[in-house]
């Protein structure tokens, strides 16, 4: 090697070993810098949240997109202060604030302080809960919470599970295991993990109510079964799966030589909060030898309620269960779990890699969570629920959920007395579906009116509400998950709905259409 090349190489090595101009790695040397900078971030959030007077500013996608046009991600700002100022402008100023009492749209909850404080611990330590040698005590915290949840459900001592990113991942795991459970039962098939789907896979069917979560269709597609594998089951007048309709669907499968591999019962539908009759559905599943999965992503919070826990009666018969702690346990996203009655069923998601979770470790009893998970790298999201239970306790969470359930009942009573509103049903949990329905309008006009009202509320930032369609008609929706929301807040939103609705009726465009 020539002397010039040696000099070039030496210069390059010197550059690599020299200290960075701004060393941003979190370690013992920078613990004080971490404290100072984290404090500035916390103070920014404190100031922003303290100044929020409405859930949303009404900013449009076009408004926000324009803010990003001049940002060059290849030109770093170099320090925290200008970065935070920029972040205020492009995010915090126009963020949707779920903690505001007039945010009543989606299944987004305000979050409890212990959950936030846990984030301040788990993020800098950055444990990955896929293997014990990366997480140690974190593994046992997650496992303890799985055992606690399984006990609350009543799944029995052989139950097990794992934390997930949310209900969609949990439901995917449930249907994957149900599919592979069926595959493992075939005498002429070596199992889906080794041989792929069996020859009769096009006959496999998943049964869920006609208003089940859309993750059933997504999961069926991911699992190679296709949307056509999901058979909708009719609901009763309370938007719960009708056991008689389920029985008829099962008989239809038999008549058409189809193979039902799973029934998905919902404990808290997205639109209505309705809870399927779990006892009756479980009896049908037992009679037909079919996997029963209960999607309790929304209704799982009832496990902590002393007054309303009975609404989940029958969930203890499930083969698997989805619970979202980031909905009705008031935890930061993401924080969810998937549980099974028989821990052996989790073998369908297990693969042993010599460099990570070799079989010998499992045989020696090492508790590697990756053996039960679709994820490899896993955040320590369990710490949020752990710290919440250790500080507040489960009863406090249950009481918070009870408060919004009671509020939904109060709002239902108020709306049903209002002459210009149509309310669909007495809410089974904390969701209220209704529409503004002044006399003399066609269905098409009512659809247009209610769409206008929702958009007008969002544009003004007065409130954020949800919308859906029921039997083809557009409805509005209050999803109540904030214990600080009061009946006066909902009454004020109703008044603004009427205000915007009458403005629509008097608009020139409306007059011309008439």
Closest CA to 377 of 193, 134, 145: 134
pLDDT number for residue 514:
54
d(CA 339, CA 147): 9
pLDDT at 6: 40
pLDDT of residue 125 exceeding 60: yes
Q: Is residue 171 part of a domain?
A: yes
pTM: 0.93
* Dihedral sign computed on CA atoms, order 175, 180, 185, 189: positive
**Number of domains observed in the structure of the chain:** 2
* 481 falls within a domain: yes
**pLDDT band at residue 507, thresholds of 50, 70 and 90?**
confident
Residue 416 predicted with pLDDT over 90: yes
Instruction: Indicate whether 185 and 171 sit together in one domain.
Output: yes
User: What is the bridge-based pairing of β-strands 259-266 and 291-296?
Assistant: parallel
Does a structural domain hold residue 433?
A: yes
N residues, the chain:
514
What average pLDDT does the segment 147-160 reach?
A: 98
Domain containing 450 equals 395-513
pLDDT of residue 188: 87
Answer for the pair 245, 233: CB distance below 8 angstroms, yes or no: yes
Task: Provide the edge-to-edge strand list for the sheet that holds 160-164.
Answer: 160-164, 336-340, 320-324, 291-296, 259-266, 204-209, 230-233
List the beta bridge partners of residue 235.
241
| 206 and 316 inside one domain | yes
Half-sphere exposure of 232 (CA within 13 A, CB side): 12
**What's the CA gap between 78 and 21, in Å, rounded?**
10
pLDDT digits (tens, 9 = 90+) for 38-50: 999 999 999 999 9
Same domain, 326 and 419: no
Examine the domain organization and report whether 434 and 369 are in the same domain.
Answer: no
Q: Return the bridge partners of 434, or none.
A: 423, 476
Residue 186 inside a domain? The answer is yes
pLDDT value of residue 20: 53
Do 426 and 383 share a structural domain? no
**Is residue 93 included in any domain, yes or no?**
no
Same domain, 312 and 449: no
How far apart are the C-alpha atoms of 270 and 297, rounded to whole Å?
9
Q: What confidence score (pLDDT) does residue 190 get?
A: 87
* 479-504 pLDDT tens trace: 999 999 999 999 999 999 999 999 99
Average pLDDT value for residue range 354-362: 95
Whole-number mean pLDDT of the chain? 94
The predicted model gives 122-147 an average pLDDT of 97
pLDDT at 23: 78
Provide φ and ψ at 222, rounded to 5°. -60, -35
Q: CATH number of the domain at 190, please.
A: 3.40.640.10
How does pLDDT run across 282-292, given as a tens digit for each residue? 999 999 999 99
Rounded distance between C-alpha atoms, residue 259 and residue 53, angstroms: 54
What is the H or E stretch that residue 434 is in? strand 431-436
What burial class does residue 15 get, using C-beta atoms within 10 Å of its C-beta: 0-12 exposed, 13-18 middle, 19+ buried?
A: exposed
Q: Is residue 19 predicted with pLDDT exceeding 80?
A: no
pLDDT digits (tens, 9 = 90+) for 218-235: 999 999 999 999 999 999
Q: For residue 384, give every residue at least 6 positions away whose Cβ sits within 8 Å of its Cβ, in sequence order, or none.
A: 114, 115, 118, 119, 122, 325, 331, 332, 335
* pLDDT tops 90 at residue 454: yes
With a CB cutoff of 8 Å and minimum separation 6, the contacts of 40 are: 80, 81, 84
In a domain, 60, yes or no: no
- pLDDT score recorded for residue 210: 97
Residue whose tokens read 């109510």: 209
The larger pLDDT score, comparing residue 175 to residue 514, is at 175
pLDDT for the residue 11: 45
Beta bridge partners of 294: 265, 321
Task: Please tell me the predicted confidence (pLDDT) of residue 15.
Answer: 44
Among 392, 425, 459, residue at a domain's last position = 392
End-to-end CA distance of the chain: 88
pLDDT tens for each residue of 315-328: 999 999 999 999 99
DSSP state of 101: T
Same domain? For 455 and 315 the reply is no
Predicted pLDDT of residue 187: 87
Residue 417 lies in a domain: yes
Q: Is the pLDDT of residue 16 over 70?
A: no
Nearest to 325 by CA among 375, 253, 386: 386
Residues 371 and 260 in one domain: yes
How would residue 506 be classed by pLDDT, with cut points 50, 70 and 90? confident
Q: Give the rounded percent of residues in the chain with a pLDDT score beyond 90.
A: 92
Last residue within a domain, chosen from 344, 367, 392 = 392
Same domain, residue pair 191 and 175: yes
- Span 6-22, average pLDDT: 46
Residue 120 in tokens: 């301040």
Which of the two residues, 60 and 505, has the higher pLDDT score? 60
**How confident is the model at residue 509, as a pLDDT?**
54
Q: How many CB atoms lie within 10 A of CB 259?
A: 16
- One domain, residues 430 and 386: no
Confidence of residue 24 (pLDDT cuts 50, 70, 90): confident
Statement to judge: residues 198 and 307 lie in one domain: yes
Q: Is residue 456 part of a domain?
A: yes
Query: Of 363, 392, 421, at which residue does a domain stop?
Result: 392
Quick: pLDDT tens for 240-259.
Answer: 999 999 999 999 999 999 99
Interacting residues of 306 by C-beta distance below 8 A, sequence separation 6+? 395, 398
Please report the pLDDT score of residue 22 as a whole number: 54
pLDDT at 13 over 80: no
Look at residue 18 in the predicted model and tell me its pLDDT. Answer: 47
Mean pLDDT, range 101-123, rounded to an integer:
97
398: pLDDT strictly greater than 60 = yes
Residue of 378, 402, 387 whose CA lies nearest to 114 = 387
- Verify that 385 and 399 share a domain, yes or no: no
Check which CATH number belongs to the domain holding 406 and give it: 3.90.1150.10
């Amino acid at each position: 090697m020539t002397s010039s090349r040696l000099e070039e190489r030496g210069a390059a090595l010197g550059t690599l070993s020299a200290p960075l101009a701004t060393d941003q790695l979190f370690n013992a040397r920078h613990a004080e810098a971490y404290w100072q900078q984290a404090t500035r971030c916390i103070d920014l959030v404190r100031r922003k949240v303290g100044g929020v007077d409405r859930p949303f500013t009404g900013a449009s996608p076009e408004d926000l997109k324009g803010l990003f046009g001049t940002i060059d991600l290849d030109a770093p700002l170099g320090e925290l202060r200008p970065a935070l100022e920029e972040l205020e402008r492009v995010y915090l100023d126009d963020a949707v604030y779920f903690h505001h009492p007039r945010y009543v749209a989606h299944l987004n909850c305000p979050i409890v302080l212990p959950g936030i404080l846990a984030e301040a611990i788990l993020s800098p330590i950055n444990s990955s809960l896929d293997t014990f040698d990366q997480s140690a005590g974190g593994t046992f915290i997650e496992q303890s919470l799985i055992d606690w949840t399984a006990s609350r459900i009543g799944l029995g001592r052989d139950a097990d599970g794992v934390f997930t990113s949310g209900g969609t991942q949990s439901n995917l795991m449930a249907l994957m295991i149900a599919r592979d459970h069926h595959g493992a039962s075939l005498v002429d098939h070596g199992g889906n993990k080794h041989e792929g789907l069996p020859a009769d896979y096009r006959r496999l069917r998943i049964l869920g109510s006609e208003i089940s979560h859309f993750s059933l269709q997504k999961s069926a597609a991911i699992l190679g079964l296709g949307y056509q594998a999901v058979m909708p089951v009719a609901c009763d007048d309370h938007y719960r799966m009708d056991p008689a309709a389920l029985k008829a669907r099962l008989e239809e499968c038999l008549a058409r030589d189809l193979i039902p591999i799973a029934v998905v019962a919902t404990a808290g539908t997205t639109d209505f909060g309705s809870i399927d009759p779990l006892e009756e559905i479980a009896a049908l599943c037992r009679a037909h030898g079919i996997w029963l999965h209960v999607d309790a992503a929304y209704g799982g919070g009832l496990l902590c309620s002393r007054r309303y826990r009975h609404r989940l009666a029958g969930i203890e018969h499930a083969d698997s269960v989805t619970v979202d702690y980031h909905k009705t346990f008031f935890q930061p996203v993401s924080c969810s779990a998937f549980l099974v009655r028989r821990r052996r069923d989790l073998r369908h998601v297990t693969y042993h890699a010599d460099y990570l979770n070799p079989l010998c470790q499992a045989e020696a009893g090492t508790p590697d969570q990756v053996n039960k998970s679709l994820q490899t790298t896993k955040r320590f999201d369990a710490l949020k629920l752990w710290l919440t239970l250790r500080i507040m306790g489960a009863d406090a969470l249950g009481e918070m959920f009870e408060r919004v359930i009671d509020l939904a009942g109060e709002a239902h009573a108020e709306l049903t007395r209002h002459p210009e509103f149509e309310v669909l049903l007495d809410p089974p949990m904390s969701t209220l579906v209704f529409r503004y329905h002044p006399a003399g309008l066609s269905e098409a006009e009512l659809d247009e009116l209610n769409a206008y009202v929702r958009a007008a509320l969002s544009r003004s930032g007065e409130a954020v509400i949800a919308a859906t369609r029921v039997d083809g008609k557009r409805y509005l929706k209050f999803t109540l998950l904030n214990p600080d929301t009061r009946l006066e807040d909902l009454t004020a939103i109703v008044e603004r709905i009427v205000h915007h609705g009458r403005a629509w009726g008097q608009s020139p465009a409306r007059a011309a259409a008439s």
